[in-house]
Amino acid sequence: MDLLKDTVLADRQIFVEEVVGELLTRKGLTICTAESCTGGLIGHLLTQVAGSSAYFKGSLVAYHNQIKISELNVLEELIVSCGAVSKEVVCAMAINAKKKFCTDFSVATSGIAGPGGGTDEKPVGLVHLAVAHKTGVEHKKCLFGDKNRSDIKTASALTALKMLQDTISSF
């Protein structure tokens, strides 16, 4: 690494929410969130960035299934057949939030942060993430394992923001 010893690669620490904000600003795009297991953490991180009102339109914390149904128009049958913590539900949350907030992108989360609530099929630490955009929706299934509730929420939010960064960069 002697080759890089006199090279400055960054003049400050930059957080993923700042990178996302810079991408959205540069491209003139907007974002919203529909959060369940992260409880608004992604919206919080996005709005920690000065100037975020230029691209962040809002957030809906749909923690209870009834809010997913009534506010995000997720079909009750989908929740019953697939469960709230599923690819199908989180993708519907993302797609419908994007429509509701009239944004270019939306991020949605649904998972089991624990310490209880897990099963063999859906253990604590299972989180589904989705990013909706103009041509469709991206999905990621994460297994954060045996972490505490706060760590699962943080890992989910940061993973979702990185997923969002990658998606925005591809447009």
What pLDDT digit, counting tens, does each position of 15-64 carry? 999 999 999 999 999 999 999 999 999 999 999 999 999 999 999 999 99
- pLDDT at residue 20, rounded to an integer: 98
- pLDDT band of residue 7 (cuts 50, 70, 90) is low
Q: Are 90 and 110 in contact (CB under 8 A)?
A: yes
In the numeric block, the tokens 């989360």 are attached to 109
Architecture of domain 16-21+28-169: Alpha-Beta Complex (3.90)
As a whole number of Å, the CA-based R_g of the chain is 17
- pLDDT at residue 146, rounded to an integer: 78
Separation of alpha carbons 16 and 103, rounded Å: 20
